[in-house]
Structures are given as structure tokens and as C-alpha cells.
Amino acid sequence: MTAADLVVVGSGFFGLTVAERAASELGLKVAVIDRRHHIGGNAYSETEEQTGIEVHRYGAHLFHTSNQKVWDYVNQFTTFTNYVHRVYGVHKGEVFPLPINLGTINQFFRANYSPAEARALISEQAGELAGTDPQNLNDKGIQLIGRPLYEAFIKHYTGKQWQTDPKDLPAGIISRLPVRYTYDNRYFNDTYEGLPTQGYTAWIERMADNPNITVELNTDFFDESQPLSKGNVVGNVPVIYTGPVDRYFDYAEGDLSWRTIDFEEEVLPTGDFQGTSVVNYNDPDVPFTRIIEPRHFHPERNYQTEKTVIMREFSRFAEKGDEPYYPINTEGDRAKLLAYRDLSNAEKDVLFGGRLGTYKYLDMHMAIGSALSMYENKIKPHFAKGEALVSGGVDA
């Protein structure tokens, strides 16, 4: 058995935020376990050996938030650069700024439209399906921004992301498609944006750097031969579980479906491959969705100029053994999630959190905000005031 007051399964931002608060504010002994060889979940970054460039090992991680509470919290552990994320997309051999903005529209239509003229044009093109109630993503996209822009910048990219024809995807995936009628091509609209000055791993390590926190890596919660296993701790010590919710219950209600990402990493004998951090490839004849060039996340760093590293990103359905990234959330998934919600509520002193534990798409700032709420509303009242710890956290 463990001497810990709280066991946290998973060392991503959700788990570490809960662990840090419980250890720092309440003085609890917190045991954090992770089956991977590193902390930080998918936000983990490391130095690429040949170039010395910091690589986001699980794809581009861009920190942005308008939540003051989250911003104040994360600034305890890191400062942020003034990086502003901008994305470009390749369509038929030409590069366009994204998200779709006045610059994209004027370049695409070879025009000089004013904001009002561009708005009128998109409204006219979207009128093709005006008054209808599209049930699939393809028709919804056309209704929102018109066929020309949709087919150039959304249709094939989305199809590659989901490995599914947009005609077979639900319309709800894109309840809105942002179009800006200005030349603003900032990708995010949040109040705060930047990258951790010394990198994600340095930030994450500071969160875990507390004498009350122990971190056990290469440790599987479901391996009953180790002391911090599910069988040993559930019912004896409160648990924060941030792994896949279906795995927790041994897939009793069926497998939830996820997308995963494969990366093809290459070191190239040039100082700069594409001139920016992320370029989307919108056309169907290119198998990858985008190319990330990590050197551009930190232009303030004095990286070498003889070589650069790039990562091509391929999206596909996750199979057993893959790293799950994004919940697909079909109708079938939602039905299973209802059943898992009931199972999670019936556990003893187990709270489910994070992207995997709640089967929700959460950006980093959302995961941190959600963890702070769980700490304030459930963990602190339990340990500080003796209130009952009501299990759950899975919504459907």
C-alpha cells in the first residue's frame, strides 16, 4: 500500500495541476504515476539531438487563454514569449493565410474586395444551401462559407483529419467556420498567447517540483504487480484518473473511438524549410495534413542555421496500443459514454479528468481550468472540511 493521501494517474496538465495544488496548498502527499517514460502527457517537449531545436514530441502545442485565473496560475511556473501563432495553407501550389480572412478571400478570388463586398460575396455563395438544415459536414460547410472556399480550404483537410468523407461526418463538427472580414490572420483570438520561455518540459517539471509530490514513470495503473495499481489504491486512497475512461472500466461498455496522429520527422540540411511554424496542406493529393517546423516556435533562440527539423503530421483512427489524441464522438460513442458516466459515478473516491478521462476535446488552458475547478470544488472541500468526495467527472 501507499503512504500517499492522493494518487494521480497521468502526468499531463490536468493531473499535475491537481497534484500541485493539493501538495502546495493542502500539504498532501501526492503520488503521480504515468505509464510513459516522461511527465507532461502530450505537452512533453525535448531537444532534437542533431539540431538542438526543441520539438513538441506530440505535435504543435500553442498556449493561449482568456481565462485570467488560468493565466495567473500558469505564470507561477513559467514566463511566456510573445509568440503569436499564424497558420498558412497550401492549395494548388499556392500559399494562403489562415483562418480564412480578407487576405485569403482577395487572394483566392484575385480581387480587392472591401469587407462589405467580401461579406456579400460569401453570403451569396453560401446561399446555395440557404434555408436548409444540413445534417452532414460537407453541406454545412457550404452553407456557412460557400462552396469555393469550403472546397479549397476545409473539405479535403477535414477529410484527411478524420479519414472520412465530409459527407459522412456530422454537421455538428463545424457548428461555425470563422471567416474574418479583416486582414487579421492571428490564429487565436485570446487575451493571452505565447510559448513557455524555457519550453514545455521545463514548465511541467516546475509544477511537479514539490517535496510532497512523488512521480513514478513507466508505471501502469493497470499492472497489478506494482503497488500503485488500480486494485491496490481504489477504495483505499482518493484517485484522480486522467487516462482513457473506457480503459479504466476494461472496455466494459465497448471501445470509445479516437483519432491518433503519426509523425514523420526529418532533419534537413537547410537553416529554414518553410519560413513559419505550421503550414497546412489542404489538397487531397498530399497524404499529410500539415508540416510543423519547430524552430519557428522560438525565433528568439539562437538555433543553428545549418540544419532544421520538420514533422509531417498524418491523422488516422486510433487502434489498440496507439496514443489517443482526439475523441471522435459519434452517436455510438455518446451512448457508450452515458454508460461509462454511470459507472464512474458508482466508483469509490475516483474523479475522472482531462481529455482522455472525460472524452472531451480540451485545449491546454481548458484542461488546467477544469483541474483548478475540480480542486476547488471537490478535492479541497474533502480534505480541508471533511466533505464527502463524490466520484465522477464524466459527462455525456
Q: Looking at residue 1, what is its pLDDT? A: 45
Task: Give the closest residue to 144 by CA, choosing from 122, 161, 166.
Answer: 122
Alpha carbon of 340 to those of 9, 197, 243, 257: distances in Å?
A: 18, 39, 13, 14
The catalytic residue among 34, 139, 246, 313 is: 313
d(CA 396, CA 205): 33
- Give yes or no for a contact between 87 and 187, defined as CB atoms under 8 angstroms apart: yes
Q: How many CB atoms lie within 10 A of CB 61?
A: 19
Say whether the peptide bond before residue 327 is cis (omega within 30 degrees of 0). no
The catalytic residue among 176, 250, 285, 331 is: 176
The catalytic residue among 180, 295, 341, 355 is: 180
| 334 counts as catalytic | no
DSSP assignment of 251-304: TTT-PPPEEEEEEEEEEESSS-SSSSSEEEE-STTSSSSEEE-GGGG-TTS---
**Each residue's pLDDT tens digit in the chain (396 positions)?**
468 999 999 999 999 999 999 999 999 999 999 999 999 999 999 999 999 999 999 999 999 999 999 999 999 999 999 999 999 999 999 999 999 999 999 999 999 999 999 999 999 999 888 888 898 999 999 998 999 999 999 999 988 988 888 898 888 888 777 899 999 999 999 999 999 999 999 999 999 999 999 999 999 999 999 999 999 999 999 999 999 999 999 999 999 999 999 999 999 999 999 999 999 999 999 999 999 999 999 999 999 999 999 999 999 999 988 989 988 888 889 999 999 999 999 999 999 999 999 999 899 999 999 999 999 999 999 999 999 999 999 986
| 313 counts as catalytic | yes
Contacts of the segment 210-213: beta carbons below 8 A, 24+ positions apart? 210/20, 210/23, 210/24, 212/23, 212/24, 212/27, 212/28, 212/29, 212/30, 213/19, 213/20, 213/23, 213/30, 213/32
DSSP state of 392: B
**Burial zone of 236 (CB within 10 Å; 0-12 exposed, 13-18 middle, 19+ buried):** middle
Provide the β-strand partners of residue 91. 94
Q: Looking at residue 365, what is its pLDDT? A: 97
List of residues 6+ apart from 310 with CB closer than 8 A: 265, 266, 268, 273, 274, 291, 292, 293
The catalytic residue among 266, 319, 334, 361 is: 361
**How would you classify the pairing of strands 326-327 and 258-268?**
antiparallel
| 180 counts as catalytic | yes
| 290 counts as catalytic | yes
Q: Report the predicted TM-score, pTM, of the whole model to 2 decimal places.
A: 0.94
- Give yes or no for a contact between 367 and 375, defined as CB atoms under 8 angstroms apart: no
DSSP assignment of 68-122: HHHHHHHTTT--B------EEEEETTEEEEES--HHHHHHHTT----HHHHHHHH
Q: How many CB atoms lie within 10 A of CB 66?
A: 13
The catalytic residue among 259, 295, 341, 355 is: 259
Q: Looking at residue 100, what is its pLDDT? A: 95
Task: Give the closest residue to 145 by CA, choosing from 118, 163, 172.
Answer: 118
| 176 counts as catalytic | yes
**One-letter amino acid of 314:** F
The catalytic residue among 290, 295, 341, 355 is: 290
